Amino acid sequence: MNSQKFFIASAISLGLVCGVATAQPVAGTATLGVSATEVQAVASGWSLKDSILGKTVHNDGDESVGKVEDVIVAPDGTVSYAILSVGGFLGMGAHDVAIPVKNFRINNDKITLAGATKDALKTLPKFEYAKK
């Protein structure tokens, strides 16, 4: 499965889990969850947590270059960026960077970022979540 289809599937799964799909029960006009039928579909679906989060990213030379910490879903519902933890040792001194999902390739559950090196990723601007 190519990376865009992979991340699109994640966005659809996230939408179902978050109650974007029409579901029951409903309190007033707010959807509270999914119906019994939809629970089965969600349970047999693809899990972002199990398939992407925490997974190591390799370059095309099969070297480990980072780890997927998060996936950003844009306000329009599209999956736009993966947040990678790069650099550091045993979690110390690492920083996060945002990488467009279109740059990733996934083959046999292996996530590849062609042309990436640890040094190149460390030079990218540090990603920080917006203050709320």
The number of residues in the chain equals 132
- Indicate whether 9 pLDDT > 70: no
Report yes or no on 132 lying in a domain.
no
Predicted confidence (pLDDT) per residue in 74-116, tens digit: 888 888 899 999 987 766 778 999 999 999 998 888 999 999 9
Q: What is the mean pLDDT of residues 37-51?
A: 77
pLDDT higher at 41 or 18:
41
Residue 109 lies in a domain: yes
pLDDT at res. 28:
56
The mean pLDDT value for 11-22 works out to: 44
Say what the pLDDT of residue 116 is. 95
Note down the domain range covering 9: 3-122
Is residue 129 one of the residues assigned to a domain?
no
CATH assignment of the domain containing 13: 2.30.30.240
Looking at residue 8, what DSSP letter applies?
Answer: H
Only one residue has tokens 């306000």, namely 75
pLDDT at 91: 61
pLDDT: which is higher, 46 or 73: 73
pLDDT at 93: 78
Q: Which helix (H) or strand (E) holds 120?
A: helix 118-122
Does residue 53 fall inside a structural domain?
A: yes
Is 93 contained in some domain? yes
Task: Output the pTM of the full model.
Answer: 0.67
Mean pLDDT estimate for the chain: 79
Answer whether 82's CB lies under 8 Å from 70's CB.
yes
Paired tokens of 33: 């969850």
Angle between helical axes of 3-17 and 36-43 (0-180°, round to 10): 150
If one counts the domains in the chain, the total is: 1
∠ CA 11-95-88, nearest 5°, is 125
